[in-house]
Amino acid sequence: MLYHLIEQQLHAALRQILPDAATAAVLVRPCADPNFGDYQTNALMALAKARKMNPRQLAADVVAKLDVREWCEPVEIAGAGFLNFRLRPAAVTAALRTARAAGHPFVARAASPRTVVVDFSSPNVAKPMHVGHIRSTILGDCLARTLRLLGHRVITDNHLGDWGTQFGKLLIGWKRHLDTAALRRDAIAEMERLYKLVNAASEADPAVLEAARQELVRLQAGDAENLAIWREMIALSQTQFDTIYARLGVKFDQTLGESFYNPRLRAVVAELVAKGIARESDGAQVVFFDDLPELKAHPTIVQKSDGGFNYTTTDLATLAYRLETWSPDEIIYVTDGRQQLHFRQVFAAFGRWQSAIPKLAHVWFGSILGEDGRPFKTRSGDTIKLADLLDEAEERALRVVSEKNPDLPPAGQREIARIVGLGAVKYQDLLPNRQSDYVFSWDKMLALSGNTAPYLQYAATRIQSIFRKGDIQNPEFGIQDSELSAAEELKLAKHLLNFGLVVEAVAEEYRPNYLCNYLYELAGHFTAFYEHCPVLKAGGADRARRLALCDLTGRVLRQGLGLLGIETPERM
């Protein structure tokens, strides 16, 4: 990638001036204003300030040692020490020629691949997946796809909620009130009904609550009957979860629920106590953070006064297992923002317990709101089930597709509607800053204009139509020796060159919205190019070059949407 080559030369020049400089922080990034150039670095100013040097003089000294003539016009020094790089058209043309032959154009594989565990989705057994699960599931899947494209070893783990106090109530419900016909029709709905029934009864009658507690004790002690029922609950739940994941195109390498770690919990607490990390307080074992101002007022319990364990204990055991089993360089947790304190506590406790720990990242996100600005729910105030949301997305998309393509056979309409509807849901979720709440809007998400999945999918299919229209089935076209000439060609080409940089930023900062906005801008650049630069009607080298630009744009659009977990139909 050109920006990597420029960066490497910049680092080499800087080391000649400041041999001890930390070059990893000296980055070359696209200029926010193209009037200043194509790429820019401001890192020399910080280096100069730290050494009490004149930043413009340092910039001049570095430029004197910097050789990027192969790719750039003479480097410009601006302001207090910015370096601006403007690409030569010949270098852009050569980069496109290289990209045409690449399997993943414009994306460089990581020089030092890492092992990364991504923990996401994590629904609870015996409960339906609801709209709140969409963010974790889609965001985690996108990050896993992106890291894999960059060459990292990724292990995705669905940490199911399959253990805990709710199972005592579920066991009572199963034994006393189970409707087997309803269980066959919709297992999740029946188990949800049982839980609500017993939960209400236990609030009204202490005897029911005590009976549920006894059932839980028997389960935890290994009672054969209760274990068999519990395992059936998990299997039935997993079947319905898998149906949702198949619709979303999401796969997991591991599905290790909370119960998997249960045998490890007592040993975890014993070791924390032995090392002085946890100590007794009011009968419980507690980790205090007296030396951490942000956590001093928030100690965390690892064993309750009744001897029971909690989420903190389980998460510590989970971290230890992952460290032992996969030796990861990084572990990413994708959950909603309400768990920020919990993960700060877990990471701090784990850092005291283990001597060498991987990078631990809590990638948190905001809430989905209705158009009234309140949490997104049904009109009756109930939580929206994820399956119902996806059904409605496809049905709404089908109405749009049927209007636009009345001559398509019904099966074709439904397949396009599936791709468009599910893509629209995913894109609307990934487009905002993940830490912000966003308003769910059916009309906006399915619009064929604006920054939406249907708009980008349509842009990709329009490119496909160019090759169909020109009857170019086995295209033999490429970037010829003639340079890009039209301004619209150059703008499109330079934007394509930045695809890999955006993909890297998504992986480093866990922000798919960077990719969404990049793809939207790419579609805009392509529209301007197509309006000003004839493709099929052009001749010779111009036609070949422009067809290659169309092909590369289509490939980047499809790959970018693929990283977001969004399919692209052949026609729309």
Task: Grade residue 541 by pLDDT with cuts at 50, 70 and 90.
Answer: confident
Establish how many alpha carbons lie within 13 A of residue 108's alpha carbon, considering only the half-sphere containing its beta carbon: 15
Confidence at 556, pLDDT banded by 50, 70, 90: very high
Helix (H, G, I), strand (E, B) or coil at 285: strand
**pTM here?**
0.94
Q: What are phi and psi of 335, to 5 degrees?
A: -140, 175
Q: Tokens in use for 152?
A: 């990292």
By residue count, the chain amounts to 572
Indicate the pairing of strand 153-157 with strand 278-281. unpaired
Q: What pLDDT shows up at residue 571?
A: 85
**Number of helical (H) and strand (E) elements in the chain, helices listed first:** 21, 13
Q: What is the pLDDT of residue 484?
A: 84
Q: How crowded is residue 43: how many other Cβ atoms within 10 Å of its Cβ?
A: 21
pLDDT tens-digit map of 467-494? 988 888 655 555 665 678 899 999 999 9
CA gap 463, 473 in Å, rounded: 13
Please name each of the domains of the chain with its CATH number: 2-87 (3.30.1360.70), 115-160+265-368 (3.40.50.620), 166-248 (no CATH), 386-563 (1.10.730.10)
| Separation CA 531–CA 536 (nearest Å) | 12
Would you state the structure tokens that stand for residue 498, as one six-digit string?
């930045």
Across the range 250-257, mean pLDDT stands at 97
525 dihedral zone (left: phi>0; alpha: psi -120 to 50; beta): alpha
* Cβ 353 vs Cβ 278: under 8 Å: no
Residue type, 195: Y
Q: Count of CB atoms within 10 A of residue 249's CB?
A: 14
For residues 531-560, average pLDDT: 92
Q: Please answer whether residues 152 and 113 qualify as being in contact, where contact means their C-beta atoms are separated by less than 8 angstroms.
A: yes
- The percent of residues above 90 in pLDDT, for the chain, comes to 84
In angstroms, the CA 242 to CA 516 distance is: 27
Q: What amino acid occupies position 257? A: G
User: Which of the pair, 380 or 491, is modelled with greater confidence?
Assistant: 491
DSSP string, 444-464: HHT-SSSSSHHHHHHHHHHHH
- The first and second tokens of residue 503, run together, are 């993909």
CA angle 322, 328, 332 (to 5 degrees): 80
Q: Do 109 and 503 form a contact (C-beta atoms < 8 A)?
A: no
Q: What is the largest CA-CA distance in the chain?
A: 86
Structure tokens at 350: 């784990």
Lowest mean pLDDT among 64-78, 112-126, 427-441, 532-546: 532-546
What DSSP string runs through 37-77? -SEEE-HHHHHHHHTT--HHHHHHHHHHH---TTTBSSPEE
Residue 490 corresponds to which amino acid?
L
Residue closest to 38 by CA, chosen among 85, 75, 92: 85
Torsion sign, CA atoms 432, 433, 435, 436: negative
293/290 Cα distance (integer angstroms): 7
For residue 101, what pLDDT is reported?
Answer: 80
Instruction: Note whether 348 and 320 are within 8 A (CB).
Output: no
SS3 118: strand
Residue 476, pLDDT score: 53
